Amino acid sequence: MKNYIKMIFTLLFILLISSTLFAQESDYKITSDFKTNYDSIAIALSNASTVKQVDSLKQEIVLLDDEYFKYDELIDNSIYPSNYKAQIDELKLKSSTAEHRLLIIENQSERLAKLSQEVAYYKSEIAFLNTRADSLRKAIARSEVSEERLAGLVKRYRKNLELRDELVMDVVDSLMITYSGINSIKISEISNQVESGRITGTNPLEMLKNIIDENIEYASNTNKVLTVEDHLRMYALQHHFEEVWNRVGNKMITAYGGTENSEWNTAFTSKIKDWRMVTSQKMWNSMDKYLEFSDVELGAFDNNYSFFIALDGFVKEAQKKSNDEIISNESYQDYKKFQQFWSGKVKNEWSNLIQNTEVLTVAQISSIDEQLSSWEAEARPIHPFLLVLLVLTSISLGGYILVMSKSKKFS
Amino acid sequence: MKALQKTSFGVIMLGILFFQACNKSLVVKNVNYAQQIESVLIPDEDGTVTDIRYGISYSILPFQFEEFEDSSSVQVTEVRMIRNNQGYYFITADRFKHVYVMAPKRGELKLEKKILVDEEGLLNPAFNWREPVVQLINDSNKVVILLNEKGIFKGEVSS
């Protein structure tokens, strides 16, 4: 019995010794394994594409720390001048940064999905309004209806176009909100997600291209019944679109253009230019016709600058003409016509559109205002009563001088 | 005459003292050269290994010749090296039968001790520093051998 116990103890001792021996590990291997695990977690954190993945990597960091904490001095020596604690802290920081970044991206994806839904809604609404506006335009052109009904149709046609422009403006503003705050890193992440198929749905670039195409078509086929205000609104829409595109266009092309970035860029540059030309030409033509109709004969203009020069020249010339006329009422009538256009339309009805589109700047409007005050002073004709009074005063003065000279002669 | 002799003696003694003071070099005792973690070095095509961290570079070919009697081409893939507290380098590699204890000299490493550790040749050897000895782990027979610059260490070491 005693021998058995002795044997068991001996075996246990041998097992203990051998396990100690087997447990001996190379310090270099421990540190190398730590470095390998560290690098693999760090790379996984950089490549993580979901918050869930980061959460699992956070767990791995805890396990890594549990496993290697007891070798901290060894690892400190191995990775000098860094140290174990700094390495673990760095991994924890990386995981927090990755989690934050991915939360933003996931939020971004939700916003993009929402935008896609909005785009789909806008698309169907715009298509409906386009069809309705088309049929109205044709009916008006054919003059198939009574005058009273025609006036109603024109009103509806204009209202439809207004609604349509408002919707397009909404799309543009949504894009602005979505993309203006995104930095280049996030844009490239969206691009990667689009390319890898993680973001699907309507490509916003396609949708915008269609919007431009439709607007070019509509601006080209505008009916005579449209007013200067309608054309100014279309011009303002194009102006706003171009402004927003200049701010977010590059980001959108980077995000959604895939491998055809330069093609998209060229297409948008060319289409926006065409749109600008059509709306600008139509707007200036309608302005010119309106002024002609209002008997305000300005010089030729086809852009913001030449429009101001024409206005300025007209007011200066009219002021000079008024200065030469003393009794005539004609120049004052010219002044009144211009004043009606200036105060009634430019400074009142079209005020917002004119300022938003920079058709006239505030300084230019003030300059014309000042000249108008002088023109009014020059052009205002003398009141008939004042004229009679003047004649009577002159006669009285003449009579008095005559009487005085005769009495001097006799004395 | 006697006064002259005394003066000359004093001058000579002062001279000797001055000369000795100038000649005496600065010595720092109890320097610990121990490397906490071994260096694993990969020879280049000429057989030269370089340890950037500890600043040493040498050819592995003389060791290879000692082991395999061949230095025509580099056969060693990985060199294991560690330095003990006395400043001796312990060098070995896979399939080596010995650990070479080398003393650093001016522009050279001089063999201090060639320790036979495995007649069959080491398999995946690794050094650990366990004050005051170097621990050699050998995968071929799962044996741990303790070494110092004199050879295999027989005493007790707390690991």
Radius of gyration of chain B (CA): 23
> CB-hemisphere CA count at 13 Å for B76?
34
B74, B106 in Cβ contact below 8 A? no
The per-residue pLDDT for range A158-173, each reduced to its tens digit, is 777 777 777 777 777 7
> CB-hemisphere CA count at 13 Å for B137?
18
**Residues on chain A touching B144 (C-beta within 8 angstroms):** 21, 24
Instruction: State the average pLDDT over residues A138-150.
Output: 66
pLDDT band at residue B98 under the 50/70/90 scheme: very high
Instruction: State the average pLDDT over residues A66-75.
Output: 93
Q: Does any CB of chain A come closer than 8 Å to the CB of residue B143?
A: yes
Q: What pLDDT score does A11 carry?
A: 42
pLDDT band at residue A401 under the 50/70/90 scheme: confident
Separation in Å, CA of A30 to nearest CA in chain B? 10
Give CA–CA dist A215/A272, Å, rounded: 10
Greater confidence (B9 vs A247) lies with A247
Q: Does any CB of chain A come closer than 8 Å to the CB of residue B36?
A: yes
> CB-hemisphere CA count at 13 Å for A244?
21
Match 């003059």 to its residue by tokens.
Answer: A143
Q: What pLDDT score does B14 carry?
A: 61
B interface test, pick of A15, A26, A32, A74 with most B CB neighbours within 10 Å: A26
Greater confidence (A19 vs A331) lies with A331
> Is pLDDT above 70 for A91?
yes
> Is pLDDT above 80 for B1?
no
Q: A with B: how many residue pairs have Cβ under 8 Å apart?
A: 35
Q: Do A77 and B137 touch (CB under 8 A)?
A: no
Instruction: State the average pLDDT over residues A307-327.
Output: 82
Minimum Cα–Cα distance from B80: chain A residue: A28
Separation in Å, CA of B77 to nearest CA in chain A? 17
A49-53, A65-69, A263-267, B73-77: lowest mean pLDDT where? Answer: A49-53
| ipTM greater than cut 0.85 | no
Q: What pLDDT score does A115 carry?
A: 63
B149, B120 in Cβ contact below 8 A? no
> Is pLDDT above 70 for B155?
no
Q: What are the C-alpha distances in Å from A196 to residues A108, A189, A263?
A: 16, 10, 21
Q: Do B126 and A74 touch (CB under 8 A)?
A: no
- What pTM value is reported for the model? 0.49
The per-residue pLDDT for range A197-227, each reduced to its tens digit, is 555 556 778 878 888 888 888 778 766 667 8
pLDDT band at residue A182 under the 50/70/90 scheme: low
Helix intervals (H) in A257-361: 261-293, 304-324, 330-339, 351-356
Q: What percent of chain A has pLDDT over 90?
A: 18
Match 């006395």 to its residue by tokens.
Answer: B86
Run of H or E residues at A31: helix A27-47
Q: What pLDDT score does A21 carry?
A: 45
Mean pLDDT taken over chain A: 79
pLDDT band at residue A327 under the 50/70/90 scheme: low
Q: What are the C-alpha distances in Å from A104 to residues A201, A322, B45?
A: 20, 67, 50
Residue A397 CA, distance from chain mean position: 72
Q: Comparing C-alpha atoms, which of A237, A230, A359 is closest to residue A290?
A: A230
Q: Do A21 and B129 touch (CB under 8 A)?
A: no
